[in-house]
Amino acid sequence: LGMSQEKKAEASLASLRGMMQLQARVRRNGQVAQVAADDLVPGDVVLFEAGDLVPADGRLVEAATLEIEEAALTGESAPTLKDVAAIDKAEVALGDQHNMAFMNTTVTRGRGAMIVTATGMQTQMGAIAGMMQAVKEEKTPLQKQLDQLTIIMAILAGVAFLVMSGIGLLRGQPFSLLLITGVSMAVAAIPTGLPAVVTTVLAMGTTQLAKANAIVKRLTSVETLGSTSAICSDKTGTLTLNQMTVRELVVV
């Protein structure tokens, strides 16, 4: 059941990724063509304008009143003014690299062109994704509690087996009979139905979230999400839309 729910989530995410396939306008052999961002290579000349997502990292060669919103990288929600002037410093912070455009940032004003310098995991955004993948996955509170319960029950079953075996040997019972009885008791003590019950409950939570248009990639995340009382985010809108929204209309 758990594998089925996670496969459905993966399929939904894959479908969303397919719908959000990023396209880029490139200038090759003097002609402008539309290609998938995945097909870009270093050295390509990419053109973009207001409303476009930058498909790769690159050095700007054209900039006409160009402004790019780089909140995901720099933490600044205000768009950054870009130009093609060279920077004579060896090390410059991302927010100060005015002659560079970075993957997955948004062009908010003007138009420009850049020479691709990095794609995929070699980009600044790719480096961040790599750091996230390198983070060791921790167990959820529910998983930790189940592990503790399993250890406690195993210890109790072991102690009970030793006590029962000692009493049985003192009474002259054969060890083979005591061993069979001990194994039977250990099997009976293990809650074999508990994993199925937990998975079913988590799957029910996933179904409820799906009705609210939320896709859960990992089934075990449902329990952690249910225990969350507050979510903190910064001004860049990492967990929000970073857009002004009309809440009320007043006629004057």
Positions marked active-site: 234
Q: What is the CB-side half-sphere exposure of residue 174 using CA atoms within 13 A?
A: 3
Burial 152-161 (b: 16+ CB within 10 A, else e): eeeeebeeeb
Q: Which helix (H) or strand (E) holds 108?
A: strand 106-118
Burial 33-48 (b: 16+ CB within 10 A, else e): eeeebeebeeebbbeb
Nearest to 58 by CA among 75, 72, 41: 41
- Which residue type does 157 have? A
The residue written with tokens 């939904």 in the block is 12
- DSSP assignment letter at 23: E
Which residues contact residue 34 at a Cβ distance below 8 angstroms, ignoring those fewer than 6 apart? 23, 24, 25
